[in-house]
């Protein structure tokens, strides 16, 4: 369900209640550094409006989903990741590894990332 959730970590970051190291902000999206990075560059890209996961976001507002991708691409270029490559991951649901239930992409790069799944 879209909107703002008062108990959502990312909604609280958008509201300015919790600090974050913001690398890019648009009218509809926010990109900030992950506090527990899994790669030399690890940035979270979120829609400012609350959607529980990327599937819900894509169904409800395809244009906003596109804006999240556009922000991720811009940040990847800004961070110097486009030459060697990067990974963009949307974890969805508990089995997909989603920990914060606000749609978000993990932008990872800055070193070889290895296989998609640990074996």
Q: Which residues are catalytic?
A: 104
DSSP conformation class of 95? G
Contacts of 96 (CB under 8 A, 6+ apart): none
Q: What angle do CA 57, 63, 64 make, to 5 degrees?
A: 50
Q: Rounded to 5 degrees, what are φ and ψ at 95?
A: -70, -20
């Amino acid at each position: 369900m879209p909107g703002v959730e008062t108990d959502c970590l990312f909604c609280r970051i958008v509201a300015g209640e919790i600090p974050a190291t913001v690398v890019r902000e648009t009218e509809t999206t926010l990109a900030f550094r992950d506090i527990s990075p899994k790669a030399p560059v690890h940035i979270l890209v979120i829609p400012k409006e609350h959607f529980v996961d990327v599937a819900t976001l894509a169904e409800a507002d395809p244009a906003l989903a596109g804006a999240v991708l556009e922000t991720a691409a811009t940040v990847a270029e800004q961070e110097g990741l486009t030459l060697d490559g990067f990974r963009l991951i949307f974890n969805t649901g508990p089995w997909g590894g989603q920990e914060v239930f606000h749609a978000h992409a993990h932008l990872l790069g800055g070193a070889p990332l290895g296989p998609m799944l640990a074996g």
